Chain A
Amino acid sequence: AQSVTQLGSHVSVSEGALVLLRCNYSSSVPPYLFWYVQYPNQGLQLLLKYTTGATLVKGINGFEAEFKKSETSFHLTKPSAHMSDAAEYFCAVSPTGNQFYFGTGTSLTVIP
């Protein structure tokens, strides 16, 4: 069975500080990996994805994530938080691209 673990349901950072949201997964095969963002009262928007190739993936809004197979991790980072980054973030995994499994989400608060 596939699973996705997001450590920390709530993360607070100061504006301008590093954002680090953690995601670990279990998968029997190298999976597709994703980060989505959800703003209040909206659907999910894809931030970035890893399919194959370079393990450091750059996404929208200055976010990036690194696939580390040995650690089964796909942590999301951003060097400098902005107020507009406050949202809910979801990590997801898909072993084959047919079904998708989501983590429980991390709510990011940015403190002015």
Chain B
Amino acid sequence: DADVTQTPRNRITKTGKRIMLECSQTKGHDRMYWYRQDPGLGLRLIYYSFDVKDINKGEISDGYSVSRQAQAKFSLSLESAIPNQTALYFCATSDYREVETQYFGPGTRLLVL
């Protein structure tokens, strides 16, 4: 079984719709991250959380929000999706005892029409 799972794996939505991407982990890690990947731009950090009560903005948080419902769950929401949010989204986790090592989920491919 995968340690870091993301749902859905693929999603097509329309401009203006609200959408939520979910991430779950069974690794027991305290830290969780959301990234987006665009061709030619690499990965950019959207939000990160060091525990349930801690939420931090990353490089490109505008247009996104997150919720850390439990240590194992970290959701990313697009309140009103727009086409330039079309991207591949990755969740990652790390542990405070080895903060420099991140474990990535398989990604969610999002298309906003």
Residues on A facing B (Cβ under 8 Å): 4, 9, 32, 34, 36, 41-46, 49, 51, 90, 92, 94, 97-105
The answer to whether B113 has its CB under 8 Å from any CB of chain A is no
Nearest opposing residue in chain B for A50, CB measure:
B100
- Contact sample, A vs B, 13 pairs, CB 8 Å cutoff: A4-B42, A9-B40, A43-B4, A43-B90, A44-B104, A49-B101, A98-B50, A99-B48, A100-B33, A100-B102, A101-B45, A103-B42, A104-B40
4 A-B pairs with the lowest CB-CB distances in the bound complex, closest first: A97-B99, A43-B104, A102-B43, A102-B42
Apart from A90-B43, A97-B99, A105-B40: 8 A-B pairs, beta carbons within 8 A? A32-B100, A42-B107, A43-B107, A44-B102, A44-B104, A98-B48, A102-B35, A105-B42
Question: Chain B interface: which size bin?
Answer: 20 to 34
Nearest opposing residue in chain B for A105, CB measure:
B42
Asked if B42 and A99 make an inter-chain contact with CB atoms under 8 angstroms apart, the answer reads no
